[in-house]
């Protein structure tokens, strides 16, 4: 598919309102379970046009920010992948939008967790209040996709559970 990023009217950049700022052809993937995907970043005050001849499922994470940054492309080969935890808390972290790997976004942090059946994604229990070493309040949103019997095709069976606490 193709992602076109255009500047919204009134945006404070060198580009004119409505002018195309960037176009990215995303390779994508068959399923969240098959491989890491490439991605695009659209800055504040951008308007997106998404096109795909075959259709697409797209995630659009966002966060309130103060500054406008230019659009950018993130190739799949540059996305860091690491295994965290052990035993029943083992999971794969695909850090396509995390600090240190992708510092382009001012306040947005986004990643994917691929967790084997029966394992925990957010263990041990922890908090993201504004305390050292994390100086900002991090809101966490979990969107669950459950892999089918082949662990590739998404399934309507299964469930995800998440508990959040504040200190």
Provide the residue-wise pLDDT of the chain in tens; the chain has 167 residues.
555 555 554 455 555 655 677 888 888 888 888 999 999 888 888 888 888 887 888 888 888 888 888 888 899 999 999 999 899 999 999 988 887 777 777 777 888 989 888 888 877 776 666 556 656 666 677 788 888 888 888 888 888 877 666 65
**Tokens found for residue 87:** 């035993």
**Tokens found for residue 2:** 């193709």
7-15, Cβ contacts within 8 angstroms, sequence gap of 24 or more: 7/45, 7/46, 7/47, 8/45, 8/46, 8/47, 10/45, 11/44, 11/45, 11/46, 11/68, 12/45, 12/68, 13/45, 13/68, 13/70
**Tokens found for residue 81:** 């992948």
Q: Could you tell me how far CA 158 lies from the centroid of its own chain?
A: 22
Residue given tokens 């240190």 in the structure block: 100
Q: What share of the chain is helix, strand, coil (3-state, %, to 5)?
A: 5, 30, 70
* Residue (of 163, 144, 147) closest to 155 by Cα position: 147
Give the number of other Cβ atoms within 10 Å of residue 93's Cβ.
Answer: 17
What pLDDT is recorded for position 10? 46
């Amino acid at each position: 598919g193709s992602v076109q990023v255009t500047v919204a009217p009134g945006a404070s950049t060198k580009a004119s309102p409505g002018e195309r700022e960037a176009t990215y052809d995303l390779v994508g993937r068959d399923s969240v379970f098959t491989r890491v995907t490439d991605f695009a970043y659209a800055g504040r005050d951008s308007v997106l046009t998404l096109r795909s001849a075959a259709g697409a499922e797209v995630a659009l994470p966002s966060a309130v920010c103060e500054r406008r940054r230019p659009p950018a492309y993130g190739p799949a080969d540059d996305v860091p992948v690491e295994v965290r935890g052990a035993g029943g808390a083992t999971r794969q972290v695909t850090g396509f939008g995390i600090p240190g790997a992708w510092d382009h976004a001012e306040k947005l942090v986004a990643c994917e967790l691929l967790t084997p059946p029966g394992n925990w994604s957010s263990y041990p229990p922890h908090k993201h209040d504004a305390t050292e070493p994390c100086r900002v309040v991090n809101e966490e949103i979990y969107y669950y996709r459950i892999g089918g019997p082949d662990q590739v095709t998404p399934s309507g069976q299964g469930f995800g559970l998440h508990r959040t606490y504040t200190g």
